[in-house]
Each structure stands twice: as C-alpha cells, then as structure tokens.
Structure 1
Amino acid sequence: MDTTPPAPFVEAFRTLEDPRRPGRTLAHNLHEILTIALCAAIGGANDWVAVETFGRAKIGWFRRFLPLVHGIPSHDTFGRVFAHLKPAAFQACFGQWIADVCGKLGRAHIAIDGKRLAGSEDAGAGVTALHSVSAWATDARLSLGQVAVDDKSNEITAIPKLLELIEISGALVSVSVHGLRLT
C-alpha cells in the first residue's frame, strides 16, 4: 500500500466535483486537466488553445507526475470542463491550495480580482458601470487597495496601477481575470 501523502494540489482539489456527466467516457482525469491548466496559465497561456499547446510541448515533464494515459486533453475539453465547474467551489479549492503553498513558503497571499459594481450603470443617463480591481490579503482578511478600471480599458491595464499602491515583496500574488486564474 502506498503511504505517500497526496500532493497538496490534488488534496486541495479533492472535493471539487467533476462537472462532466457520469457514464460518459472520461478519458482525462479532472486533476490532470486542472494541473495542466494551472501550469499553462503560470507559463503564460491565456486561452484554451494555448493551454493545450503548452501541455503538448511539456508532455514529457507532465508524465513525470501525471499518468496522462490518453495524452493531453484538447482545447475543447479544457474549455468544456472549466465552463461547467462551479466557480465558488473552484475558488474555495484554489484558495485552500494557495494557503497551503503560502504556509509552506512562509509567504503572504494577495488575491487580485476585478469586479463590476452592481447598480453603478444608468443606461438612460449614459453612465456605464464602474469596474474596479482590488487586492485582498487573504490571511488578514483585509483589502489592501482598489483602483477603478478606466473607461474603454480592461482589468489587465489597471493591475499595474494597483500593484504600485501596495507592498507585495515576499508575497504570493494570484490574479483572476476573465475566468482564467494566474498566479
């Protein structure tokens, strides 16, 4: 019997429900899909085709710790799985994993996320919704800063402005933009 403790990533995502329908052929394990997507995002992938391309380019490395019996999933598989994951459940698992990593590294975790302020839009008056990007110190449960996103811009352009306002040296910073999580 293998007594090796499960990897922190797998353990953190153990409770995440696989959104795919039972009874269908599931060629790829959910943890393989999550691991490849996370590594690809860290490596700069910003869409599902890039995630698949990254996985194929690094398949030898991934096979050192993932079975990958059916190879690297297609970009369509990545897209379908992530589109059907429950965001709150994924966020909770991801947060648990980041907390574990930060604890082992002795680092603080700062989560950066963009939000649209509900009720801030008035179409009749020509007022567009307010979008902002904020930094959250997860351990302290404290907002470290927030900046508004310029009109005709996006969250990505506001992040450098936010990072100039806060002290991040020595911290592990994660960014969630348009459903693709980067760390």
Structure 2
Amino acid sequence: MYLPHGIPSHNTINRIFERICPLQFSKCLYNHSHHISEFVAKKQINIIDGKVLCGTRTSESKNSGLCIVSAWASEYHLTLGQVVVDKKVMKKWLFLPY
C-alpha cells in the first residue's frame, strides 16, 4: 500500500472507524471470512502451535499465564483460529493428530 504522506495518525484512524457502520462492517467481515475458510478448508492445516503469552503471569503463581493454541495454514501465512486453553490441556492439544 502506497501512503504518500506516511502512516496515518491514530486520530485519522479513529475518524475512519467512527464512520464505519458496525453492522455493515460485521457482515462484510463475516462474508470475507467465510470465503477464506471455504478456500483454506480444501488445504491442510499444517501447523498447530501453543504459546504462553508474555506478561500474563499473575503474581500468585509462577506457572500461571494465558495459554493460546493456534492453527495455521503456513502456505497462505494465515492464522485459522486461536483458542485460550488451560495450561494442562495445552500439552495434550499439541500432540493430537490432525
């Protein structure tokens, strides 16, 4: 994307989002996602990845933190979905056959 005056300021981006109709935007995003998912469904999900996000640990427990499992279609550089899981469950998810 060519931006002759540089990256827009946060004020400009805010003005754009203020003018977008949330319902119409939701419909467009849903339709776009649906078409992408149909296309990618024909391909194989080839990466399942689990991470504990930095900075999400609570002071109560050394082993706490927000755990996320992601499914990727690396051929398209596309994240297909992310799920927040319990840390104990995450270990099981990473070894499920897909």
What is the TM-score of this pair, normalised by structure 1?
0.25
More strand by share: 2
